[in-house]
Each structure stands twice: as C-alpha cells, then as structure tokens.
Amino acid sequence: MLSYTDVTKGVIFVMDGEPYLVLDYEFLRMQQRRPTSKVKVKNLITGKFGEHTFQQSDAFEEAKIDKKSLNYLYNHRDEYWFADPKDPKIRIKFTAEQIGDKIKFLKPNIQVTAYVFSAKGGSASSGKGEIINIELPIKIDYKVKEAPPSFKGDTATGGSKVVVLENGLEINVPMFINQDDIIRVNTDTGQYVERAEKK
C-alpha cells in the first residue's frame, strides 16, 4: 500500500477502482494542523484531470500497469482500431474520447504503446487486464501532402508556413519544406522537429 507521502509525481495508483497518474505533488505542513499532500492527477481511463488533498490516514494500492505494442489500423466515425502486431486477428477499439488529442497524430501502421491495467479483483476482462490508454512515439515521420510554394528570399529571412501532412494534420514548418518531403514531428509539442530524408 502507498501512504499519502508515497503518491508523488510519476506514481500510478488506484483510487475508487481506477488508475491515476500523479502529475504534480506538493507536501504541505502547517502549524497546528496535520500534514497533507496536494496532488494533481490524471485518470488514465477517462483522461480527465483533477486535484486532491490527501491526509495521513489515506492509503492507496499501487496500480499494476503493463505495456504492450499495438499497430494503428484505421478509424471509422468515432472508432479507432488497433491490432496486436504478434496476432493481427486481435483487434482493439478505442473511442475518440479515450484517445483525446493524440488522434491528430495517428496514421496507419504506426506502432503505439498501450497501457494495460489489472485491477485487484476488478473488472479486467479474463483477468488479463484492461487496455486503458495509448502512448505515441515521441517523434513520428509524415509525408507533406500540401505545401504552399517557397519564393526566393523566403528561406533567407527565416519565417514559416503552414503545410498539410498525409493524415490531414496542419503544422507550421520552415519555408524550405516542400510537398512530398518527409518531416519529423514531436507528438508531445505538436511542433516540427526536422526534415527527414525523402522516401
């Protein structure tokens, strides 16, 4: 069991049967009062954020989280389908709400990391655990589908322009990027990193 001082940044713990990731932790000790800890958390199933204050009497179970690889296949309406690379017949569906902002970075055949949560005596199917969230690679390469033309002198002055990538994502890039270039994008920041080699 985890005490209120163990629930620090980066720890994943179970509260009300669901796993939470601690994003921020602050230990508070005030005169004449019992010490408490204040945490900012993210629910790994719903994706919702929240803040909680814990006291000495609070104790939590550490979440059992395993990781597995999945390949992104396609989406149909609000359903996003993935497959197990070792057994493509195993298909896993996520909703747009579950994936959240990561949707805009998805493209067919990229490999993501899935988090599998096993609740103690919980609702995990077949005792194998429930896939609750996915994590994208930090950097993904995309082909530029549409790019406005660059004019002489643009590249010398720096500046940027908006291009459309193969998956429909629009981002700012340097003026020298052209249609059919392969560029690398940081999925944490959503920003252009560098031009990769043309494929």
- The more confident residue out of 193 and 43 is 193
Residues 17-22, mean pLDDT to the nearest whole number: 90
Tens digits of residue pLDDT in 122-155: 443 334 577 887 889 999 999 999 999 876 555 5
Q: Which residues have C-beta within 8 Å of that of residue 121, sequence separation ≥ 6?
A: none
Cα 186 to the center of its chain, rounded Å: 12
Which CB contacts under 8 angstroms, 24+ apart, belong to 178-182? 178/144, 178/147, 178/150, 179/144, 179/145, 179/146, 179/147, 180/143, 180/144, 181/143, 181/144, 181/147, 182/141, 182/142, 182/143, 182/144
CATH numbers and ranges of domains, the chain: 2-62 (2.30.30.30), 65-137 (2.40.50.140), 140-196 (2.40.50.140)
What pLDDT, on the 0 to 100 scale, is given for residue 122? 45
Q: Which residue's entry shows tokens 């601690």?
A: 22
What is the pTM (predicted TM-score) of this model?
0.68
Residues 39-66, mean pLDDT to the nearest whole number: 89
**What confidence tier does 166 reach under pLDDT thresholds 50, 70, 90?**
very high
